[in-house]
Chain A
């Protein structure tokens, strides 16, 4: 093993810089906008450079056949064992670092334009930078605890950012919701972590063989069993998966993600597309050895954890896609599609392994960030309008946005061959297909793909096609954008966004298109980079049995979805904003169900929230009647004592005390004579006292 390189030893710089920038920005006044933005972007840029550094170093290591390099150090000691933290550099870290810093950089730049009218500009950038730092921390952590801490900071910052316009009650509520729901998941995570520590005695991932997810520890974990023949490894993995599910909005913890759209759009892009939700997927990928741990007896079947992951992923994918069909808020559509894509990733992780999931994560990060930023650009252009029914005809109004958005949309749908989404999604489907126990997930995924294409087309036609439909109601309805441009200059119809917002879009678009070619079956560079198989360009990669079939079928699915979308929405342009959605006309009941997201929120409200309320009421009742009674009794007792005391007081103590007081006040009156605010008199006292003491001393001395 070569000595850990400089970049590995100083990997901490990458998250440290944005955090530092955040600290500095926090100290700035609101006037120093340029400085704040400059600090954030500059730090992000430096981190990006460092990330490139790390990536190239990783390439080097790979060429030497090294999978990961760590730098551990003792942090604190309890008992006689050290808790040590450390940085870890391995392929997925390198990739994620590159992705997060790059996308983050673009989003920062974008938000300079988007937030330009907000008076809390500096605060916004402070939070953004802090968020980015925490996220990067999650990536480089070589210690589950460190990862967890950064993870929690990520949660905190997402809370802050979602609730950025906290004057708006929806935003505040959404922020709270996001925080609490993710906490639920994190509880599982914490439990899993503690259990893991209890079992393996370390939280380091890699520690030269002694790490928690290295074969030795895994073996020990596998050796124990819990109920239902579930190995400890799987149990811990499932617990940790809870955390992942919470963060990346898997069913049933997905409810916070749509509401999180209350935050400013760049935040949505950064948190809900590129990074934070990816954190969950990343966590699973990171713990993959643990997840996939399986006792050798039944090595053929995948471990329980992986199955669960796959299923949850599939369900989520379908679920999100279904709901997305019936949404009208442009950002909500994207949010649900994010959920479904996250489901894909989980599915890919479960069925296909790290490489597959990560591949989709990366591509998705780019095109979803692109879509969100495009949506942001649209909203910005429509001066705060978010309802796609009140848009339309934007193709001519904002051509660049349109072009980039289309690219992103096609990528998301997975348009055959040309767009990155195709390759990554296709791999997932293929791996799901080629895995006999996950046939049903495969079909769910395929259907989700169809839906994806469908609802994206729908959105496209709604937003860009036809003529512009202004909202009948004024913008006051959109408290969300209380501080967006709408209030500052009267909306002069939709207009193209400033170039500071367009440049990131274009960049992202290019990536969204071409990133896919890093993982084609013909040239599986990414897979090899992650899993370390030799990479070579050969069309023989397509010759894997079933691959071509799956590819063709998925292409067919996508095309079907697109045409369906065109058939339903594109054939005749939506002219009237009040017109019902064609689907709604066709199947009102289903549509309503979907529109209300399967009433999951309502369901939670009806069950958990109510249960909580009931519990609260119950305890209140207890408090009033039971405990209070006890307290009453006690207080009675005390009162009795009190009376007795007071009796004693009045007759015994007081008299003596009064005497004492009289004496004191008398002497005080005497003293008050001395204390008459005349400096010189004081001086005299001092002098006299000095005389006394000196005389005393001398007297003693003479003795």
Chain B
């Protein structure tokens, strides 16, 4: 298999790792981490495509990655501060109540 394929598979795997975490962790921080991981997987894709793509001089992939890194940083900051604010009100970062929600 070509190296590009392996990179794609790797990034897909990382993506699903992040997704699994985001879907199955309790703590909202962990969910945030998962999302970050997914972003990174996407970045890896970009870089790989740029590297193996027909026109590497276009730099599009690299630029996209740089920008998405910046966005991810901002997202982490805001997300964490939101989580912090929430935590200050309800003393927990859990996404689902500990006891079964009664309805």
Which residues of A are in contact with B by a Cβ distance under 8 Å?
Answer: 676, 678-680, 683-684, 687
Contact = CB atoms under 8 A, between A and B. Distances in A.
A680 B23 contact: yes
B95 A684 contact: no
B23 A683 contact: yes
B75 interface: no
B19 A679 contact: no
A684 B23 contact: yes
B29 to A, nearest CB: 13
A678 B100 CA distance: 12
B101 A680 contact: no
17 contacts: A676-B101, A676-B103, A678-B95, A678-B96, A679-B31, A679-B95, A680-B22, A680-B23, A680-B24, A680-B31, A680-B95, A680-B96, A683-B22, A683-B23, A684-B23, A687-B19, A687-B23
A676 B95 CA distance: 12
Interface residues of B, number: 9
Interface string B91-103: 0000110000101
A680 B24 CA distance: 7
Nearest to B28: A679
B78 to A, nearest CB: 16
A677 to B, nearest CB: 9
Interface in B1-42: 19, 22-24, 31
Contacts of B22: 680, 683
A676 B97 CA distance: 12
A680 B31 CA distance: 9
A676 B101 CA distance: 10
Contacts of B101: 676
Query: Which of A678, A679, A680 has most chain B Cβ within 10 Å?
Result: A680
B31 to A, nearest CB: 7
Nearest to B19: A687
A2 to B, nearest CB: 63
Nearest to A679: B95
Nearest to A673: B103
A245 B57 CA distance: 81
Contacts of A679: 31, 95
A679 B83 CA distance: 14
Contacts of B23: 680, 683-684, 687
Interface of B: 19, 22-24, 31, 95-96, 101, 103
A318 B101 CA distance: 94
Nearest to B26: A680
Contacts of A683: 22-23
Contacts of B95: 678-680
Nearest to A684: B23
A211 to B, nearest CB: 64
A552 B58 CA distance: 101
Contacts of B103: 676
Contacts of A678: 95-96
Given A678-B95, A680-B95, A684-B23, 8 more contacts: A676-B101, A676-B103, A679-B31, A680-B24, A680-B31, A683-B22, A683-B23, A687-B23
Contacts of B31: 679-680
A687 B35 CA distance: 13
Nearest to B25: A680
B98 to A, nearest CB: 13
Contacts of A687: 19, 23
A35 B31 CA distance: 57
A676 B103 CA distance: 10
Nearest to B97: A678
A683 B28 CA distance: 13
Closest 8 CB pairs of A and B: A678-B96, A680-B23, A679-B95, A684-B23, A683-B23, A680-B95, A683-B22, A687-B19
Query: Which of A676, A683, A684 has most chain B Cβ within 10 Å?
Result: A683
A410 B31 CA distance: 92
Contacts of B24: 680
B86 to A, nearest CB: 12
B90 to A, nearest CB: 13
B74 to A, nearest CB: 20
B17 to A, nearest CB: 13
A679 B95 CA distance: 7
Nearest to B16: A687
Contacts of A680: 22-24, 31, 95-96
Contacts of A676: 101, 103
A683 B31 CA distance: 11
A678 B95 CA distance: 7
A687 B23 CA distance: 9
A676 B100 CA distance: 12
Nearest to A672: B103
A99 B22 CA distance: 80
A676 B19 CA distance: 20
A683 B95 CA distance: 12
A679 B96 CA distance: 9
B69 to A, nearest CB: 23
A434 B9 CA distance: 112
Contacts of A684: 23
A684 B20 CA distance: 10
Contacts of B96: 678, 680
B82 to A, nearest CB: 12
B16 to A, nearest CB: 10
Nearest to B103: A676
Nearest to B34: A683
A680 B101 CA distance: 15
B19 to A, nearest CB: 6
A684 B31 CA distance: 13
A683 B23 CA distance: 7
A678 B96 CA distance: 7
A679 B31 CA distance: 10
A530 B95 CA distance: 88
A684 B22 CA distance: 9
A678 B24 CA distance: 12
B18 to A, nearest CB: 11
A684 B34 CA distance: 14
B8 to A, nearest CB: 14
A687 B19 CA distance: 9
A172 B83 CA distance: 58
A607 to B, nearest CB: 73
Query: Which of B23, B101, B103 has most chain A Cβ within 10 Å?
Result: B23
A657 to B, nearest CB: 29
A676 B102 CA distance: 11
A444 to B, nearest CB: 84
A537 to B, nearest CB: 84
A446 B101 CA distance: 101
A684 B23 CA distance: 7
A678 B19 CA distance: 16
B84 to A, nearest CB: 17
A684 B103 CA distance: 21
A687 B22 CA distance: 11
B22 to A, nearest CB: 6
A684 B96 CA distance: 14
